[in-house]
Amino acid sequence: MEQLSFFDGGQSLKLPPELMDYRPNFFTRDESTGLMQKLKATIAWKQETIQMYGKLLNTPRLTAWYGDNSKTYAFSGNKYHPFPWTAELLFIKQRVEQAAGLAFNSVLLNDYRNGNDSVAWHADDEPELGINPVIASVSFGQVRRFDVRHKQNHKLKYSVELENGSLLIMKGDLQHNWEHQVPKSVKTMKERINLTFRMIS
Ligand SMILES: O=C(O)CCC(=O)C(=O)O
Ligand SMILES: [Fe+2]
């Protein structure tokens, strides 16, 4: 049963290609440095809150939602109203669309300020995304671990280190039969910006 994690000195071996297509150095170092700086400065980052056990807690990261139209999108108990595309977002979107062979009409951005920021286990299975959506995830800055586990069997688990300038294309039934997280880290972590491009109806 050697399907399980394939953590080997932090590098992931064989992700299932029908679920995840990982492309390191999708953006060059210089592109990544420039884009990260621009995104930090120009995106309307927001501290969202989440209702948990009757308490209002801060989401452990900053988020922002940009896209084509004025449709609202519900995620983690929050409703997002998209801001219009910026020049940097359109540049990234165009590159990602080329690689994925698909168009996207919105992007959710996450700013993980340090190792204490995270995203808990979840699937992006909102009905607006349709069945087996393709979601393209771009990472800049600090390398963070991305874990995937099967909903019915948590031992069936994959991890990949999402590097600066990388693209991870999530597809197949990943959002239906699997869930994913970016765990907190006790190691000192610098800032990371993640963008997940989506097509919502
Ligand atoms: O930061 C990441 O790599 C994942 C973010 C994520 O899962 C999401 O925004 O739905
Ligand atoms: Fe997600």
Query: Does pLDDT of 77 surpass 80?
Result: no
- The ligand whose atoms approach the alpha carbon of 123 most closely is 2
Task: Report the relative pairing of strands 73-75 and 192-198 from DSSP bridges.
Answer: unpaired
* Segments of 44-198 assigned E as strands: 49-52, 55-58, 62-67, 73-75, 78-80, 106-112, 119-122, 135-141, 144-150, 157-162, 166-170, 178-182, 192-198
- Ligand 1 pocket residue status of 162, Cβ below 6 Å: yes
- Ligand 1 pocket residue status of 194, Cβ below 6 Å: yes
**Tokens 């771009």 — which residue?**
138
Residue 197: what pLDDT?
Answer: 98
Residue 72: what pLDDT?
Answer: 74
List Cα–Cα distances, 4 to 123, 155, 177, in angstroms.
19, 7, 16
Q: Report percent pLDDT > 90 for the chain.
A: 83
Q: What are phi and psi of 39, to 5 degrees?
A: -65, -40
Contact 150, 175 (CB under 8 A): no
Residue 103: what pLDDT?
Answer: 97
- Ligand 1 pocket residue status of 170, Cβ below 6 Å: no
Query: Does pLDDT of 1 surpass 50?
Result: no
In tens, the pLDDT along 150-198 reads 999 999 999 999 999 999 999 999 999 999 999 999 999 999 999 999 9
Task: Report the relative pairing of strands 20-23 and 192-198 from DSSP bridges.
Answer: unpaired
Residue 78: what pLDDT?
Answer: 67
In tens, the pLDDT along 38-57 reads 999 999 999 999 888 999 99
In tens, the pLDDT along 94-152 reads 999 999 999 999 999 999 999 999 999 999 999 999 999 999 999 999 999 999 999 99
Q: Which residues contact 19 (CB under 8 A, 6 or more apart)?
A: 148, 158, 170, 171, 172, 173, 174, 178
Other CB atoms within 10 A of residue 70 CB: 8
Q: Which residues contact 176 (CB under 8 A, 6 or more apart)?
A: 123, 125, 131, 132
Taking all residues of the chain, what is their mean pLDDT, rounded to a whole number? 91
Contact 178, 151 (CB under 8 A): yes
- Ligand 1 pocket residue status of 182, Cβ below 6 Å: yes
Please tell me the distance between residue 71's alpha carbon and the centre of ligand 2 in angstroms: 19
Whole-angstrom Cα distance, residue 131 to residue 125?
8
In tens, the pLDDT along 9-44 reads 444 458 999 999 999 999 999 999 999 999 999 999
Whole-angstrom Cα distance, residue 164 to residue 33?
9
Examine the predicted complex and report whether its ipTM is higher than 0.90: yes
